[in-house]
Amino acid sequence: MDRTSLAALQVLTAIDEQGSISAAARSLELSQPSASAAVRRLERRIGATLLSRTPRGSALNETGRAVAVWARQVIAASDAFETSIAALREGHAERVQIAASLTIAEYLAPRWLAHLATVRPHADVELIVRNSHDVMDLVTSGQVELGFVEGAKVEGGLRSQVIGRDELVAVVAPGHRWVRRGAVGLKELVAGGLVLREVGSGTREILERVLQESQIELPAHVPHLGSTAAIKAAVRHGGSVAVLSRLTVADELELGSLVPIEVLGADLSRQLRMVWCSDAVLGASASELAGIAARSTGL
């Protein structure tokens, strides 16, 4: 099969990024006639005009912009192929950068990475731990290939796949006054010494959504801590209440050092998602890790 020239696709995407043939040619260190000829060959290959040509210059038309989007995917796939082949040929570690929310990073990612190490021993994985909002920012900016977040809302420019489900649970110390009751309403929960994660945390966003749906506002000054461990300590040693992922308190609930409290009229379930850039092509190890996470069970 006669395939489209990768060099021509690179010229097309450069025109889209630089705004003109001349600027694109300079960015690729080509002469302008060579860049123009590459576009003409691509137009003949596709059977469509890709540029709006005027005496003042040329720019991509609507068709050209659409083809440029597809061209980026082809170029990214080619880059990923070359990187993977080089790693295979030279036996070097393939660098993989991912990001995950705190809950996923601590309780799910370790087993995924252990599995990845058995099938791709040369994968060199860096795991960045952030809240869900910051994870999506890292993926959008291209700083990481894959992100793992909590909640249903995904930012524009990202694709996502549900990889599991979790639920939040309100917890108190064994001596708390609510233990005998076993259940409270949302208003009482909010007024009962609530301690939260920081803004941007997936756990906090789920609780805020539930409160908003019930038209309940958080108090103006609610203590917030940056780690789940700190929140659990605050609950165990004080009269506070926290709403945390069941994954993060499973051991404490089993030991009895924390006690679950039912929150009446509240759906505190949530989705766990894998996110990646819409126009990205994952490298071999990142793709393998995505498959491992998607096949994971236990939630």
- Specify the pLDDT at position 263: 94
In this prediction, residues 95-124 reach a mean pLDDT of 91
CB burial string 171-184: b at 16+ within 10 A, e below = bbbeebebeeeeeb
- Name the pLDDT band for 93 (thresholds 50, 70, 90): low
Secondary-structure percent of the chain, ordered helix, strand, coil, rounded to 5 = 45, 25, 30
pTM above 0.85, yes or no: no
Closest CA to 129 of 155, 153, 108, 114: 108
In this prediction, residues 146-165 reach a mean pLDDT of 88
Q: Which domains does the chain have, with CATH numbers?
A: 6-89 (1.10.10.10), 91-162+274-295 (3.40.190.10), 165-270 (3.40.190.290)
How much of the chain, in percent, has pLDDT values that exceed 70? 95
CB atoms within 10 A of CB 95: 15
In this prediction, residues 268-274 reach a mean pLDDT of 91
Write the DSSP string, 232-293: HHHHHTSS-EEEEEHHHHHHHHHHTSSEEEEETT---EEEEEEEEETT----HHHHHHHHHH
Is pLDDT at 112 greater than 70 in this prediction? yes
- Name the pLDDT band for 80 (thresholds 50, 70, 90): confident
- Specify the pLDDT at position 181: 92
Question: With contact defined as beta carbons under 8 Å apart, do 173 and 220 qualify?
Answer: no
Q: Give tens-digit pLDDT for 13-58.
A: 989 888 888 888 888 888 888 888 988 889 888 888 998 888 777 7
- Specify the pLDDT at position 187: 92
